[in-house]
Chains A and B, each alone.
Chain A
Amino acid sequence: MPLFADATDPWLTLLQFTVIGLTKGSLFALIALGYTMVYGIVELINFAHGDLFMLGSFVAFTILGLFGVQSAGDPYADAGFVLLCFAAAIPFCAALNVAVDRVVYRPLRNAPKLAPLVSAIGVSFIFMNVGLFWGGSQDVNFPNLVSDDNLFGETAKIRFTAKDLMVIGVTVPLMVALTVFVKFTSLGTAMRATAQNPTAAKLMGINTETVIATTFAIGGALAGAASVTYGLYINTISYQIGFQNGLYAFTAAVLGGIGNIPGAVLGALIIGLVVSLGSVYVGERWTSALVFAILIVILVFRPSGLLGSRTREKV
């Protein structure tokens, strides 16, 4: 099972699985950001977000199918296909998220909070059904376009593959871009204002509905990027991946303090580490239970998440 060269050195094992954990964590972070931003603006736990991510991966899968891409071939052509997947899945998820907000959540803006939440569960069911019709009830193999070769050479003691690099290469720039957007653009400022106090933001002349639509678009776009990355990284997708990954991402968002952008990233990295290190030191089958147990323990001591109470800023 050990993919890395030296399994005997415990420190190397720790380092190796920390690397894997951080890679997985940054993937969770992309999904978690969608949860946390939407929550920050409209206080809605968007249960459909994980399933939006799942549909994004099916868009990418279908596009690769249209071009008959089965496995890695010419590297330049593959790079083109990968870019095409991103170019399709990101707008698809963004547009779908905005459309759902417009049709389902917007009429419920002034309703009790339970109403949009239950509607989100409903949307999640419908998305899952679409995924079921789209991909069938079994796992589907996503073409393995990114190489598994160790970038440090096959004899190196630590394994860091092109796939890991791709995940980092997609997630980190997106997170940086998001931070810059929220902190330094006028729309980002409007977003923070709306999150802090929607009424006051409206009085200041901010079109809060535009801000909300933008938030859903950004959340959806991040989910779209995450979905293609996930497909290329894990290589198996099914209509159920939305639930499991969405749950982890949502847990990450809450762990960090829901509504808080750095919190979501921190939470996701912790979840990634717990999943990865837990699979070595506790056992693969206990990792899910471990994630939630840690979540409960952390929330007992910090009821509004790790970064939740310190920063009141919510976007």
Chain B
Amino acid sequence: MKPYRLGWEPAIFAMLLAYPLLPVFESSFFALTKRSLGDQMPTVFIFAILALGLNVVVGYTGLLHLGIAAFFAVGAYVAGILTVGAYPFGAPFVVALVAGTLVAALLGLLLGAPTLRLRGDYLALVTLGFGEVVRFGLKNLDAVTAGAKGLSPLPPPTGPEVGIDWIGDYRPFYYLTLLLLIGVSVMLSNLERSRLGRAWIALREDELAANCMGLNPSKLKLAAFALGAGLAGMAGVLYATRLTSTAAPDAYDFNKSVFILCCVILGGLGSRPGVLLGVFLLVGFDNILSPILDTAIQQTFPSNESRIYRTFTGWRLSIFGLALILMMRFRPEGLIPSSRVKHELHPDEAVAMTVHPVTLHGNRREPEGQS
């Protein structure tokens, strides 16, 4: 086993912690782009928690999960129901955070339990279908979820008596989400090297062999599902609290799940720093780069004709699609790969490890006659 190295993460987190303390960065970024980076960062951190949750299922355990947005939505709606004035609960933020995480984790168990027998592609479809069921459920149960409008307004995490300005100042949310992200990241880094984490990886590499070594695949998969769902739920609570609304159920559709999956794959499956980078790049692309380029194009080529291909945003899908295709062709291990995945994908370059070709999500083609 590889000795523990600190790697990139502490440096990245230290920089992120320092960013708001030195207002010169924020003001120069604002001068350059007319946009606040600090305002966008909490979204990055929230999606990073979500993506790390997905990474537990897809990256560590190798189960393709296409419905992570459902658990994100559940977290958001639990927070909404617990804190919105229309309901009698009026729970404090911490309670909502814990409840959202637990309810989503429980739902993850609920989804995981019956689907454990399924092979990879069937599992992918069931998670996708589950995501759609949750979305339509939220949309149609108007009495509980306010239907297509979503629940609002969610109160800020602390009451007025504490004297924190959650709306005008970006820093409270910045630090709240960043600290939670750091907590999640530290937990996962420990988990990766624990019995459970290593068992997940063994399961990813070869389920049959792992089973023969005395691991219980069902329990391990359930644990991965529950943890991934719980982290997604936690991200959902933060997301809704930050937006002060649960947003419409359609915000949690298949596209959101695929977007998060893209972050994980772009950065590197199973690699925490990679996932963080992937989220930063894709959220940055959507929330910072696209609007800036849109304005620039509008100013450089003024046109009354509002054609969608004249905007940069109009090309978003093509750029995402092309990025995915090129990544898979030339760098399938992601931008910051986990060393193990890299060895798997480039076995000829592997020096220290002997590996046999395996699939990334554990559903190697089985010989005919077995099932």
Q: Which of B49-57, B188-196, B214-222, B359-367 contacts the other chain?
A: B359-367
Any chain A CB within 8 A of the CB of B23? Answer: no
Please state if A296 and B358 are interface contacts (CB–CB under 8 Å). Answer: no
Q: A304 is contacted by which of B119, B124, B128, B357 (Cβ under 8 Å)? A: B119
Please state if A112 and B332 are interface contacts (CB–CB under 8 Å). Answer: yes
CB of B273 to closest CB in A, whole Å: 20
Residue interface mask A110-138, B partner, CB < 8 A = 1? 01111111110111111011101100110
CB of A61 to closest CB in B, whole Å: 17
CB of A26 to closest CB in B, whole Å: 22
Any chain B CB within 8 A of the CB of A181? Answer: no
- List A residues 86-125 near B (Cβ within 8 Å): 104, 107-108, 111-119, 121-125
Task: Give the dominant DSSP class at B's interface.
Answer: helix
CB of A16 to closest CB in B, whole Å: 25
List residues of chain A with CB within 8 A of the CB of B269: 114
Please state if A258 and B121 are interface contacts (CB–CB under 8 Å). Answer: yes
Given A292-B133, A304-B371, the answer on whether A125 and B359 have CB atoms closer than 8 Å is no
Any chain A CB within 8 A of the CB of B265? Answer: yes
Any chain B CB within 8 A of the CB of A312? Answer: yes
Residue interface mask B239-263, A partner, CB < 8 A = 1? 0000000000000001000100110
Please state if B129 and A114 are interface contacts (CB–CB under 8 Å). Answer: no
Any chain A CB within 8 A of the CB of B137? Answer: yes
Any chain A CB within 8 A of the CB of B130? Answer: yes
Please state if B324 and A121 are interface contacts (CB–CB under 8 Å). Answer: yes
Any chain B CB within 8 A of the CB of A289? Answer: yes
Residue on B nearest A313 in the bound complex, by CB: B368
- List A residues 18-48 near B (Cβ within 8 Å): 39, 43, 45
Number of interface residues of B (CB under 8 A): 56
CB of A174 to closest CB in B, whole Å: 25
Please state if B317 and A129 are interface contacts (CB–CB under 8 Å). Answer: yes
The answer for the CA separation of A45 and B120 in the assembled complex, in Å, is: 11
Interface residues in chain B, defined as those with a beta carbon under 8 Å from any beta carbon in chain A = 64, 114-115, 117-122, 124-126, 128-130, 132-133, 136-137, 139-140, 254, 258, 261-262, 265, 269, 308-309, 314-318, 320-325, 327-329, 332, 344-345, 357-361, 363, 365, 368-369, 371
**Given known contacts A292-B128, A296-B115, what 19 new A-B pairs fall within 8 Å (CB)?**
A45-B124, A108-B328, A112-B358, A117-B64, A118-B327, A121-B258, A124-B321, A125-B317, A126-B325, A129-B315, A130-B318, A133-B308, A251-B129, A254-B121, A286-B140, A289-B136, A292-B132, A293-B133, A312-B369
**10 tightest Cβ-Cβ pairs between the two chains A and B:** A125-B321, A122-B324, A292-B129, A289-B136, A129-B317, A126-B321, A122-B321, A122-B325, A129-B318, A114-B360
